[in-house]
Amino acid sequence: MNIVMIIPTGIGCEIGGHCGDGQVAARLLGQCCDTLVLHPNVVNASDLNEMPHNSLYVEGSQLDMFLQGKTYLQKVHSNKILVVVNKADYQSINAVSAARISLGINAEILELKTPLKMFAKFENQIATGDVEGWEELVEQVLPLEFDALAIATPITVDKDTMTKYFETGGVNPVGGVEAKASKLIARKIGKPVAHGPVDYALNELKEIVDPRIAVETITENFIHCILKGLHKAPRLNAKKGLSIDDIDCMVSPYGCFGPPHEACLKAGIPIIVVKENRSVLNIPEHDKFIYVENYLEAAGLIMAMRAGIEPSTIRRPIPPTVVRK
């Protein structure tokens, strides 16, 4: 049993739309399958990343390619990680050194010749942003030997916006521009990519916050989670590895529809939608989706599928058998 779990970033999902608050649901679903394919937003959480041992950490646009049948996912024991920074200061060096010691990763830091600039903003309640210098980044790293790319750079975001987010919650302001930058760069280099912000936390904030964003208040550097994810992130392979034909179902939040859903519908892969995990989008229900109330119910449904049990035979009363004449 192999499943895909998505929680799109920047659309205010109740679970997984903040900072690492999708990890527990991922760990639950990971117990229900042989392989759990997910993207960084599901498990990234500053210094924390508790993704299941059987999960595959795949950048969003590359996950789209996988579901569209354009690539295989090749499992690896470890990757050589290149960490690109605008400035190799004490913060980034210490963060990478800590990950090397605690995770045993092979990583080195590269200072960018042209700084990567990221500007977070909102458009129609959705977090997005602008990215400058990404083409120069691609040009600088392409000749180098590495397996996965970690990007540790600042994100420019209005202080009032950040303060409001920490005080009242809502849509994470920086997730959208991070996804945009990762997508632009991953498409060009064809390798695992993830971004973690530096110089981002409100260090002067001394308040108790929503548990879903608490991890953002306890660190200066937000890259340990991506280094853990990229450590064993699968490589894209044109000929071998896990394929779309190996996927049994996809689990999605409620109120979102995009390339992963389109690809799964085309491939005939069941899509389980969790109602409790609503986004801020008002996308109508789809008649081919399977709707459940929460991730506990989703896990039960997946276990029934894995056991070859028709879910309706577990419920009471059992619907009568229909005889076609």
Q: Is the pLDDT of residue 172 over 60?
A: yes
Beta strands in 19-154 (DSSP E): 35-38, 55-57, 72-74, 80-85, 106-111, 117-123, 126-132, 148-153
Instruction: Look up the domain containing 227 and give its range.
Output: 2-237
Is position 279 within any domain? no
pLDDT score, position 36? 98
pTM for the full predicted model = 0.93
From the number of C-beta atoms within 10 Å of its C-beta (0-12, 13-18, 19+), residue 119 rates as middle
Residue at 44 is within a domain: yes
Q: How confident is the model at residue 204 (pLDDT cuts 50, 70, 90)?
A: low
Band (pLDDT 50/70/90 cuts) for residue 200 is: low
> pLDDT at position 220, please?
74
pLDDT of amino acid 205? 64
Domain-embedded: residue 231: yes
In a domain, residue 257? The reply is: no
* pLDDT value of position 94: 92
pLDDT at 32 over 80: yes
Residue 97, in any domain of the structure = yes
Task: State the total domains in the chain.
Answer: 1
Highest mean pLDDT among 1-10, 200-209, 306-315: 1-10
Contact 84, 122 (CB under 8 A): no
Q: How confident is the model at residue 201 (pLDDT cuts 50, 70, 90)?
A: low
Asked if residue 57 is part of any domain, the answer here is yes
User: Would you say residue 109 lies in a domain?
Assistant: yes
The predicted-structure confidence for 258-275, as pLDDT tens digits, reads as follows: 999 999 999 999 999 999
> For residue 12, is it within any domain?
yes
